Amino acid sequence: MMTVNIKTALIGSRFWLLANVLGICAYLLIEFWILAPRSEAESLNTTDVIHLWLITECPLLVAFLILNLVWMGVTIKRWFSNKSWQPLVAWSVVCLAWGVTLFAYGIAIGMLKVLIMMADRGA
């Protein structure tokens, strides 16, 4: 039976993990800034929210999608060369972290909220 040491997996992928942790933090900061309550004069309408999302969050998400696809390629190459599961475990942990982040604060709930607001206004 093959055992996987998660500590070794995470230490061996420090660069990728640090980049993804910083990316998740940046994503959450931008998301909280867009959704932060504002006064009536400064409030964002639906169009502003969509444009801000496209200008700020979408490029960040695309950049980290590309970064993680490159990391997946490196991980698969390592697995074929030395049959080590550790990088695959680290990559899976990061994918799970992004999934939880996007589900909890992001695309699904945020875009659903925007669609409901648009429907209520008769847009």
Mean pLDDT of 97-103: 84
The pLDDT > 90 percentage for the chain reads 2
Confidence of residue 76 (pLDDT cuts 50, 70, 90): confident
Confidence of residue 57 (pLDDT cuts 50, 70, 90): confident
DSSP 36: S
Report the pLDDT value the prediction gives residue 40, as an integer from 0 to 100: 60
3 state SS for 37-65 = CCCCCCCCCHHHHHHHHHHHHHHHHHHHH
Confidence of residue 36 (pLDDT cuts 50, 70, 90): low
**Which pTM does this prediction carry?**
0.66
Report the pLDDT value the prediction gives residue 52, as an integer from 0 to 100: 74
Asked if residues 106 and 27 have their Cβ atoms less than 8 Å apart, the reply is yes
- CA dist 63 and 95 (Å) reads 14
* Residue 44 pLDDT exceeds 80: no
Each domain of the chain, given as residue ranges in start order, spans 6-35+51-120
